[in-house]
Amino acid sequence: MGAGLAGIGTIVTSGMIDAVYQEKLFGDPEAMADRLADKTGVMFAFHSVTVLSAVLMVVFAAGLFRRLRTGLGELSIAPLIAFGGLLGTSVVSVLGSGLDTEFVLGIPEDDMIEPVNAVMYNHWVGTIPWCWVLAGLAGLALFTAYRAGAVPRWIGLVGLVLGGLTVLLGITPVQYMAGMTGPLMVLVTAAGFRFGDRAQR
């Protein structure tokens, strides 16, 4: 649940780092860099929630792997697909926050960061952390597990809808929209296992 909540925090704070998306600043890298210098607090928050989500997602991936392996048996590939999708998303999140230290500390300093590089950084944090496509594989694996009777029906259907949508958005040229459905899928799935899976456990 923490991974999902922090993932939502990633999307919210990333969207607040918006200098390159303000029309009045188009074509003016220096003005964009100045705008980013006023966003260092948001950038620190973005880094913290993004890395927290990545760390917690590995824990969730391991727990989900164990839960699905218990229900489906050792021959099923669904547990490994779920684990791999969440682990891959965790890695993408770490990479999405990987430039933070250098730019968050450097942008406010005069002449330390070239304005065009600051613009590139803003595009990076506005895109890479939104690439949650691989997390959608975990949702589809949950649907497979539901079909085999290994997880509750509603968790399987949530996996199909949100996971399938996350994968579909990731495959299309609007792949960044997967950042809106992926964290929600992780949050709802984790909550489902925490509060609505006691009978099958």
* Sole residue written with tokens 């296992």: 193
* Per-residue 3-state assignment (H helix, E strand, C coil) for the chain: CHHHHHHHHHHHHHHHCCHHHCHHHCCCHHHHHHHHHCCHHHHHHHHHHHHHHHHHHHHHHHHHHHHHHHHHCCCCCHHHHHHHHHHHHHHHHHHHCCCHHHHHHHCCCCCCCCHHHHHHHHHHHCCHHHCCCCHHHHHHHHHHHHHCCCCCHHHHHHHHHHHHHHHHHHHCCCHHHHHHHHHHHHHHHHHHHHHCCCCCC
- Tokens describing residue 175: 């792949």
- Tokens describing residue 155: 């968790």
Q: Mean per-residue pLDDT for 34-50?
A: 93
Tell me the whole-structure pTM to 2 decimals: 0.90
pLDDT of 85-142, one tens digit each?
A: 999 999 999 999 999 988 888 888 767 888 899 999 999 999 999 999 999 999 999 9
| pLDDT for residue 199 | 57
> In the predicted model, is pLDDT for residue 40 greater than 60?
yes
In a domain, 42, yes or no: yes
Domain count, the chain: 1
In a domain, 201, yes or no: no
Percent of the chain with pLDDT over 90: 77
| pLDDT for residue 87 | 98
Q: In terms of pLDDT, which residue wins out, 109 or 188?
A: 188
- Tokens describing residue 76: 């099923």
Average pLDDT value over all residues in the chain? 92
Supply angle C-alpha 57, 62, 66, rounded to 5: 145
Task: Provide the domain limits for residue 94.
Answer: 2-195
In a domain, 141, yes or no: yes
| pLDDT for residue 198 | 62
Supply angle C-alpha 183, 96, 120, rounded to 5: 130
> In the predicted model, is pLDDT for residue 201 greater than 70?
no
Residue 149 CB contacts under 8 Å (≥ 6 apart), including other chains: 71
- Phi first, then psi: what are they for 27, rounded to 5°? 80, 5
> In the predicted model, is pLDDT for residue 49 greater than 90?
yes
pLDDT of 161-178, one tens digit each?
A: 999 999 999 999 888 899
Percent of the chain with pLDDT over 70: 97
- Tokens describing residue 135: 């997390």
In a domain, 100, yes or no: yes
| pLDDT for residue 106 | 85
| pLDDT for residue 200 | 56
| pLDDT for residue 112 | 80
